[in-house]
Structure 1
């Protein structure tokens, strides 16, 4: 099967098309979806939705870009939330240095505490790391976090990729590689071992080249796989099989639930 390892199918933009989209994905061979939460206010809705869609697996966390209205006491509820149905990780969590982001001291406080929750529950994490790889490494070391997970939308150097891989992570590869100008991303992807990455879309965001301004969906993971195959000079079947195996290795609880 083909798995989209990062898609926000709980977002309201999908409310009028979610059922049909799941049918279309199934008919196209996309049959697994990892849906990470972003804000505390959305946890209950995601918990309800996952009961409707057996293809979904979920993660709960507090996204760094949406911490303006968050409070640290929400982290105290995170552990309990991660005991609900089909949870495979804590996420989406991390650090975001994009202009306009929440103060970094606040982000660091939330990130470090969520890492400790994941560590206590022995769960991997889904990392949001925008222009913040060095700080992310620092926090992972200080937390003694060794469970690994996915580095969502990885766009760093090969040396940074290697550091994450050595810490037990795999790299999320998405629409960025469909852009001809993304030469660094192409070079890094072509240099990775087969075990190092998974496919993602970040739906409804991160549209593919030629689809700017449109709502992205998990159907585009097929195009991501095709571009990855071209960049790595491999078959699409090799790419989809290996990335699926990589995801199930990182999230063994997903595998147990499927079988």
Structure 2
């Protein structure tokens, strides 16, 4: 029994076969998915998808890579959505210092505002941190009283442990399976299971078996198998631990077997 802790199942890439993709995920043992939002315009569609399928849980936020679509008033709208919809998390939000042309100061303003909303509502935060883990840590430290996850983590062991000290887990996905992902492999071996969750980030970031094609939540067992092989541990034990971490962080009901 697995939980895909980061899946954009509302994305248009699934419009043609969303029912079939959902059935494949269930057949693969993926009993729940957390669906983080990326922009205010897409919140209604995400809400509809999450309501349609059992075990899908919405999170609402403003992604740094969609900065051109965000407006300051969207933060007020986000507060109202959180009050009305009671999502499992705030996000996807964060900082991206890799993509050219994204104003870092504007990113930080939106990120810090969403951290404050998460703190005010007692919700976890789903964080995007690309080449920005240290900056994310500083923002988290400024706000305090937070918990959450840095998804598709690609930082160092030391950064992951600092995040853990502040109540944050890290999640790993398809990139873990690539033979040259040596840094990720070391992280997977060295970090305590209490720090880790599993994700696909579908439709993005497929593993090596699906390179060049759409990713989907049914491929999450491949991430599990890779992690188990790297750690030389039983897949069932890792599945149980990472699922427990997700249930506790997001306050999810235990999914049906």
Superposed pair shares fold, TM > 0.5: yes
Higher relative contact order (CA 8 A, sep 6+): 2
Whole-angstrom CA distance in 2 between matches of 1:256 and 1:177 = 26
User: SS of 2:92's equivalent?
Assistant: strand
Whole-angstrom CA distance in 2 between matches of 1:197 and 1:86 = 25
CA contact (8 A) 1:50 1:85 kept: no
Residue 150 in 1 paired to residue 173 in 2? no
Task: Identify unmatched segments of 5+ residues in structure 2.
Answer: none
Whole-angstrom CA distance in 2 between matches of 1:173 and 1:84 = 31
- The Cα offsets for residues 15-51 of structure 1, whole Å up to 9 and x where unpaired, read as 1111111111112211110100001100011111211
Give the corresponding residue for 1:3: 3
CA contact (8 A) 2:94 2:129 kept: yes
Q: Label 1:119 to 1:255 Cα distance change in 2 as closer, same or farther (>3 A).
A: same
Give the corresponding residue for 1:174: 173
Q: Label 1:257 to 1:89 Cα distance change in 2 as closer, same or farther (>3 A).
A: farther
Residue 255 in 1 paired to residue 256 in 2? no
When structure 1 is superposed on structure 2, of 12-21 and 96-105 the one drifting more is 96-105
Task: Identify unmatched segments of 5+ residues in structure 1.
Answer: none
Whole-angstrom CA distance in 2 between matches of 1:241 and 1:126 = 21
Q: Label 1:257 to 1:201 Cα distance change in 2 as closer, same or farther (>3 A).
A: closer
Whole-angstrom CA distance in 1 between matches of 2:160 and 2:153 = 8
Q: Which runs of 4+ in 1 moved over 2 A?
A: 83-86, 255-258
Q: Label 1:180 to 1:33 Cα distance change in 2 as closer, same or farther (>3 A).
A: same
User: SS of 2:214's equivalent?
Assistant: coil
CA contact (8 A) 1:79 1:121 kept: no
- C-alpha RMSD of matched pairs (Å): 1.4
Whole-angstrom CA distance in 2 between matches of 1:102 and 1:74 = 18
Give the corresponding residue for 2:122: 122
| Structure-1-length-normalised TM-score | 0.95
Whole-angstrom CA distance in 2 between matches of 1:147 and 1:255 = 21
